[in-house]
Amino acid sequence: MTAKAVTTTSLKKMKADGKKITMLTAYDYPSAKLADQAGIDVILVGDSLGMVVLGYDTTIPVTVADMVYHTRAVTRAVNHALVVTDLPFLSYHGTWQETLKNAGEIIQKGNAKAVKLEGGREVAETVKRLTQAGIPVMGHIGLTPQSVNQLGGFRVQGKTKEAARALIEDAKILEEAGCFALVLECIPAPLAKLITEKIEIPTIGIGAGVDCDGQVLVFHDMLGYGGEHYPKFVKKYAEIGITIEQAIRTYIDEVKTAAFPQEEHSYGIDADLLSGLYGEGERR
Ligand code: KIV
């Protein structure tokens, strides 16, 4: 029996019922299928794909076309989780028509159920208009990687009184504007707790402590897949990068020494048929 699909409404109910929300990024069919089968509540097709899949230093080069392409692969795999896709850098800062077109492509072509965008009060009007157009929006405040050049690096946010107050106000403004949930990235745990208590929509933390209504991690980070440096807030639940590299080394070794393939990996043919392939005197 398939579990009931997660919706924006069911996430709000989870907060009201005190049930923690689980969110994980995924960028392709097999990773999304595994996360969905495991029972994750929300799959985020994050623009972090620029860094963990495409090899960029930041999320800034990621395009709407990239997001649609990866979202299509993810949504083909998912039966249960709510699929949310990031609006990438500058895709919601032009005219309203451009923003609507970009968000519309992610929903219509990608088949995502909601979009996520970064920023506080400065994106509130955009959140309002997208929500009014029928596109659910997840907010994202604190460390907002699309503004890394403005923030001066990937660092903890909200550490001064003014900055902490601004984040609390932003959270309330985004709730008021219509966000159904809010990612809190890299802010002190007690501040995330306070924000979580002050708004009714769920908060999903990453580097924001245990008192958020849910947690999100990047697929490749939590599995130790392909990265070199991991932020302090990452817990690695596996080391699949080591497992994969070891398997490839063994494969190379076995091919070089003719230990692979063996008979069990090969197809046979009737010996008479083979010897009778060429007639007497015929060139081989
Ligand atoms: O792009 C992403 O993966 C994200 C999460 C880290 C929240 O925005």
Contacts of 268 (CB under 8 A, 6+ apart): none
Atom of ligand 1 nearest to the CA of 59: 1
Whole-model pTM: value is 0.95
* Residue 3 φ/ψ, nearest 5 degrees: -70, 155
Which of 42, 44, 62, 154 to probe ligand 1 with, by most ligand atoms within 8 A of CB?
A: 44
Q: Which own/partner contact pairs does 97-103 have at CB distance under 8 Å and 24+ positions apart?
A: 99/126, 99/129, 99/130, 100/129, 100/130, 100/133, 102/64, 103/130, 103/133, 103/135
Residue 1's pLDDT is: 40
Find the domain containing 263 and state its range: 244-275
- Same domain membership, residue 19 and residue 107: yes
Assigned domain for 117 exists = yes
- Same domain membership, residue 121 and residue 81: yes
Assigned domain for 282 exists = no
Active site residues: 185
Atom of ligand 1 nearest to the CA of 116: 8
Beta pairing, strands 42-45 & 21-25: parallel
**What separation in Å is there between the alpha carbon of 160 and the centre of ligand 1?**
24
Cα–Cα distance for residue pair 194/141, rounded to 1 Å: 14
Q: Cα separations (Å) of 241 from 23, 32, 222, 228, 244? A: 21, 18, 11, 10, 5
Assigned domain for 82 exists = yes
Q: How far apart are the first and last CA of the chain?
A: 59
Assigned domain for 201 exists = yes
- Same domain membership, residue 269 and residue 135: no
- Same domain membership, residue 125 and residue 220: yes
Cα–Cα distance for residue pair 112/181, rounded to 1 Å: 16
Residue 11's pLDDT is: 98
Q: Is the CB of 21 under 6 A from ligand 1?
A: no
Number of residues in the chain: 284
Assigned domain for 119 exists = yes
Considering only CA atoms, which residue is closest to atom 3 of ligand 1?
46
Atom of ligand 1 nearest to the CA of 185: 7
Assigned domain for 1 exists = no
CATH of residue 150's domain is 3.20.20.60
- Same domain membership, residue 217 and residue 115: yes
- Same domain membership, residue 218 and residue 88: yes
- Same domain membership, residue 259 and residue 148: no
- Same domain membership, residue 111 and residue 49: yes
- Same domain membership, residue 251 and residue 155: no
pLDDT along the chain (284 residues), means of 10: 83 98 98 98 98 95 98 98 98 97 98 98 98 98 93 92 98 98 98 98 98 98 93 96 98 98 96 83 60
Q: Is the CB of 46 under 6 A from ligand 1?
A: yes
Q: Is the CB of 47 under 6 A from ligand 1?
A: yes
Atom of ligand 1 nearest to the CA of 204: 7
Buried b (16+ CB within 10 A) or exposed e, 82-98: bbbbbbbbebbeeeeee
**What separation in Å is there between the alpha carbon of 245 and the centre of ligand 1?**
26
**What separation in Å is there between the alpha carbon of 207 and the centre of ligand 1?**
11
- Same domain membership, residue 120 and residue 103: yes
How many independent structural domains does the chain possess? 2
